Amino acid sequence: MLQKVNTVHLADEDPSAHHHPESHSVFGFWLYLMTDCVIFAALFAVFAVMSHQFAGGASGKDLFEIKGVAIETAILLVSSITFGFGMIGAQKQNRGALLFWLAVTFMLGLSFIVLEIREFSHLVAEGNGPDRSAFLSSFFTLVGTHGLHVTLGLIWMVVLAGQVIFKGQLSETMLRRLTCLSLFWHFLDVVWICVFTFVYLASVA
* Residue-averaged pLDDT of the chain: 88
pLDDT of 72-103, one tens digit each? 999 999 999 999 999 999 999 999 999 999 99
Question: Is pLDDT of 53 > 50?
Answer: yes
φ, ψ (nearest 5 deg) of residue 15: -60, -30
Can you give the pLDDT at residue 23? 54
In a domain, residue 49? The reply is yes
Look at the chain and count its residues.
205
Number of domains in the chain: 1
SS3 53: coil
Q: How many CB atoms lie within 10 A of CB 83?
A: 26
Question: Is pLDDT of 110 > 80?
Answer: yes
In a domain, residue 11? The reply is no
CA–CA dist 38, 205 (Å, integer): 27
Parent domain of 91: 22-204
Confidence of residue 163 (pLDDT cuts 50, 70, 90): very high
Please, where are the H alpha helices in the chain? 2-13, 22-50, 60-63, 66-91, 95-125, 134-167, 172-195, 202-204
Q: How many CB atoms lie within 10 A of CB 121?
A: 10
- Going from the C-alpha of 84 to that of each of 124, 153, 158, 176, the distances in angstroms are 36, 15, 16, 14
pLDDT of 3-40, one tens digit each? 443 444 444 444 444 444 445 678 788 888 999 999 99
In a domain, residue 157? The reply is yes
Q: Are 154 and 113 in contact (CB under 8 A)?
A: yes
55 or 104, higher pLDDT: 104
In a domain, residue 17? The reply is no
CATH number at residue 28: 1.20.120.80
Q: Are 29 and 180 in contact (CB under 8 A)?
A: yes
In a domain, residue 146? The reply is yes
In a domain, residue 95? The reply is yes
In a domain, residue 62? The reply is yes
Q: Which of 20-34, 54-68, 189-203 has the lowest mean pLDDT?
A: 20-34
Q: Are 69 and 115 in contact (CB under 8 A)?
A: no
In a domain, residue 1? The reply is no
Confidence of residue 204 (pLDDT cuts 50, 70, 90): confident
Confidence of residue 69 (pLDDT cuts 50, 70, 90): very high
Q: Are 83 and 178 in contact (CB under 8 A)?
A: no
Confidence of residue 1 (pLDDT cuts 50, 70, 90): very low
Q: How many CB atoms lie within 10 A of CB 44?
A: 17
